[in-house]
Amino acid sequence: MDRAAITQIKTICPGRVSLDVDLGAMSWWEIGGKVRVMACPASIKEVQQLRYFAAQQNIPTLILGGMSNLLITDRSIDALCIRLGNSFADFDHRPGAATIGFQSGAWVPMVARALQQRGLSGLEHICGIPGTVGGLVMMNGGSMRRGIGSHVVTVKSVDRLGNIVSRNREECDFAYRSSVFSGQDEVIGEVDLKLEPGDSEAMRREMIDILRSRRLKFPRKFPNCGSVFKSNPASYAKFGPPGVLIERMGWKGAERGDAQVSPLHANFIINRGRAKAAEILELIGEIRQSVEEGLGHRMEPEVRFVRSDGRIEDIAQAYRAHLAGAEL
């Protein structure tokens, strides 16, 4: 990216552009190379301007939230990263109303807290998920086999050319851990949610219980990206959660360099120090293949892969490219 382009990006997001940002220091797996330019917009208008400019200049764009669901290449990424985070995390609620609007950079545990304080019930299950609202809507994330999608009223996003697209819940195509956004090149900007009236104190107690049970179940000592494979309801009924299948095939505790299948929970891969993206990728690919061969079930990865050209792709696809010798 040339200096003129960087100057223009700085004009669009004054004071919120950084160069050569080390993603390894920010991602939840603590893995990743540097990205050339990171811009943190503070309004949907700025997102539109960034996207319009990048499209005009043919600049590859990488959309990031909290980086808690991404395996990032160790190589440098020559792209414009649009990071939705603290600078884009406001919410809008009229006292007594059942709906509440969030900007997509809002931090999910803080969203859960804001809802609890207002007695807006239904999304207590998201209180321990370390990500942004945009990332959660993108994959219809949630816990206890529920997803945020069932509370979405509308989502406003920005397409590649900078146009605003507005969708109601049906148009978002929410399904188990997926949405229309998984296959679109759009930045989720604003999300309106609808909730039920609830007792704030009972909600607080439920959230404490959820956090306590997550603390016991999930590895906390080493960096990780949460569940590696999706647990879909059909396979859950037949086999149980993915961790059980992985354990049955003997992968619990398996290591590749500093990457290790967590000895506590087999659907988590931890970074015990200096794990490389390729090592995690190989573990994921081999586990998936072995479960398919041994138990006849093809698990779908939940985490996605960020390539050095800025593209985010399905991790199974990235693994195939890696095996074929591609420099990712």
Report which secondary-structure segment, H or E, holds 284. Answer: helix 277-295
Helix (H, G, I), strand (E, B) or coil at 68: coil
Q: Please report the beta strands in the chain, taking only residues with DSSP state E, as ranges in sequence order.
A: 17-22, 34-39, 61-64, 70-72, 77-83, 91-92, 99-103, 120-121, 152-158, 164-168, 187-194, 196-197, 255-256, 259-261, 269-271, 304-306, 312-314
Q: Binding residues for ligand FAD, how many (CB under 6 A)?
A: 32
| DSSP string for 219-251 | --SS-B-S-SB---HHHHHHH--HHHHHHHTT-
Interface of this chain with ligand FAD, residues 256 to 315, rule: CB under 6 A: 304, 312
User: Is 32 one of the binding residues for ligand FAD (CB under 6 A)?
Assistant: no
User: Is 23 one of the binding residues for ligand FAD (CB under 6 A)?
Assistant: no
The whole-angstrom separation of Cα 226 and Cα 70 is 10
User: Is 152 one of the binding residues for ligand FAD (CB under 6 A)?
Assistant: no
- Closer CB to ligand FAD, residue 116 or residue 178? 178
143, 154, 200, 232: residue in contact with ligand FAD (rule CB under 6 A)? 143
> Is the CB of residue 167 less than 8 Å from the CB of residue 155?
yes
- Spatial CA neighbour of 274 closest among 259, 253, 254, 255: 259
Q: Which window, 13-21, 57-65, 91-99, 202-210, contacts ligand FAD (CB under 6 A)?
A: 57-65
Which of 27, 68, 179, 227 is the catalytic position? 227
**Least Å distance between CB 197 and ligand FAD?**
25
User: Is 142 one of the binding residues for ligand FAD (CB under 6 A)?
Assistant: yes
Interface of this chain with ligand FAD, residues 212 to 231, rule: CB under 6 A: 218, 224-226
- Closer CB to ligand FAD, residue 146 or residue 276? 146
The whole-angstrom separation of Cα 131 and Cα 232 is 21
Mark whether 311 is an active-site residue: no
- Enumerate long-range contacts of 269-273, CB under 8 Å, 24 or more apart: 269/224, 269/225, 269/228, 270/219, 270/221, 270/222, 270/223, 270/224, 271/29, 271/30, 271/31, 271/222, 271/223, 271/224, 272/222
User: Is 134 one of the binding residues for ligand FAD (CB under 6 A)?
Assistant: yes
User: Is 241 one of the binding residues for ligand FAD (CB under 6 A)?
Assistant: no
66, 149, 241, 242: residue in contact with ligand FAD (rule CB under 6 A)? 66
User: Is 54 one of the binding residues for ligand FAD (CB under 6 A)?
Assistant: no
Mark whether 227 is an active-site residue: yes
User: Is 24 one of the binding residues for ligand FAD (CB under 6 A)?
Assistant: no
Q: Give 24's DSSP letter.
A: G
**Least Å distance between CB 7 and ligand FAD?**
25
**Least Å distance between CB 122 and ligand FAD?**
16
48, 61, 69, 178: residue in contact with ligand FAD (rule CB under 6 A)? 69
**Least Å distance between CB 260 and ligand FAD?**
15
Instruction: State both tokens at 63.
Output: 């959309």
Active site residues: 177, 227, 302
Residue numbers at the binding site for ligand FAD (CB under 6 A): 28, 63-70, 84, 104, 129-132, 134-136, 138-139, 141-143, 181, 187-188, 218, 224-226, 304, 312
